[in-house]
Amino acid sequence: MTERSIRIFGDPVLKTPTEEIVVIDDKIRALVDDLVDTVKIPGRAGVAATQIGVGLRAFSYNVHGEIGYILNPRIIETRGEIELVEEGCLSVPNLWFKTPRYPFAKVEGTDLDGNTIVLEGEGLMAQALQHECDHLDGLVYLDRLDQQTRKEAMRQVRQSDWF
């Protein structure tokens, strides 16, 4: 039940694939509370557990006023032609780059009661679902950039005041 600080690019936790959540206990309930409290800050579309230093497969989202979470999410469907969309990341502050994303995504996982839930959407929701699942697989959006854009992105990262 706390807003947690965000881990910044360069922190090894952001490049480490997460572990499945096997037992839903008070520790996992507290993690979900923290994820939801952390994503409620205006301008945040999603927060993955890795971004708050936890190597478990969970994320929260805040898209168009809808706030929620999902445990053990997996992308089960993407549709449409990949588009380049402006994307940023809390873990890569103040930098935005055109990132290839599908215009539709569907994710399946569970809630705190172990019930199957499905999240899906287009536009920002599709982008957030793909972005957060990438975090849980040990990827940041910079890993999705084409070679030339990634080279420029890494130059800007190295010149940033937070790196």
Q: List, in order, residues 6 or more apart from 154 with CB less than 8 Å away.
A: 142
Instruction: Work out the burial of residue 2: count CB atoms within 10 Å of its CB; fewer than 13 is exposed, 13-18 middle, 19 or more buried.
Output: exposed
Interior angle at CA 80, CA 71 and CA 64, nearest 5: 50
Q: Write out the H or E segment, with its range, that includes residue 141.
A: none
Give the helix ranges, DSSP H, for the chain: 26-39, 124-136, 147-159
Q: Kindly report the length of the chain.
A: 163
- From the list 20, 66, 86, 132, the catalytic residue is 132
Rounded to the nearest 10°, the torsion over CA 87, 89, 93, 97 is -20
108: annotated active-site residue: no
- In this structure, what token pair is assigned to residue 73? 């999410």
| Residues with a known catalytic role | 132
